[in-house]
Structure 1
Amino acid sequence: MSNYELMVIFTPVLSEEEFKNAQKKYETLVKENGGEVLHTNPWGLKSLAYPVAKKTTGLYWVMEYSAPTSFNEKLKIQLLRDESVMRHMFTVLDKYAVEYNAKKRSGVKHSEPQKSEA
């Protein structure tokens, strides 16, 4: 099982409830296919860098999960079929990214090197 991060931009016309239901749908899909959802982070409504389907904003959502490699194709098909999804992007996380995300979630700050006053 590998670790992945999925960012999805949903259409901004979704209600709060529809946005939550869409998130649950993909979390459930991961769990049903032998994966594990490690963390989710709904960013909410953000401006897009360029218009997509004549929309200038989108509802952003990020999910970190671990799953078998073969599962990503199933997830991709579901995302492409979903009319509320404007864009999506998968990122494979290496061990350093997983460690960084875990530290970030737990609130550990990056330590700066000590300065000597010699």
Structure 2
Amino acid sequence: MLNQYETVFICTPVLSEPQVKEAVKKFRDIITEHGGEMLHEEDWGMKKLAYPIQKKSTGFYHMFEFKADPVFITKLETDFRRDERVIRFMTVRLDKYAVAYSEKRRKLQKEKTEKKED
């Protein structure tokens, strides 16, 4: 049984864009290699942190939405902890209401981008 999850992680601001993309690709590949299914991905870019983390006040935010086996989540979180490029992460399991909200949000976001292109 696959559950639907959402993970947001923050990469350290001392990285260059290619290094951040490499870190994102690493975690995307880990999810797909272990039988996970990527549903959505968002790059939120560099943002100011609410409070300093490891003496840093900004970070590169990225969000994954995926389906995976519950046992896999502990392995994914272990990989986040071991990677020095990641300063914070959070994974949550989405219930049916959160899944519906997420699908609605993606649909509205898609419509906005289509209107901008016209």
Runs of 4+ in 1 over 3 A off after TM superposition: none
| Paired AA for residue 97 in structure 1 | A
Partners in 2 of 1:7 and 1:20 — Cα distance? Answer: 15
- TM-score, normalisation: structure 2: 0.88
| Paired AA for residue 6 in structure 1 | T
Equivalent in the alignment of 1:19? 20
Equivalent in the alignment of 2:67? 66
CA RMSD of aligned residues (A): 1.0
Q: Percent identity?
A: 47
Equivalent in the alignment of 1:77? 78
- TM-score, normalisation: structure 1: 0.88
Equivalent in the alignment of 1:33? 34
Deviation at 1:95, TM superposition (A): 1.0
Any residues of structure 2 matched to 1:1-118 within 5 Å, and which? 1-107=2-108
More helix by share: 2
Q: Gaps (5+ residues) in structure 2?
A: 110-118
- Secondary structure (helix, strand or coil) at the match of 1:70 reads helix
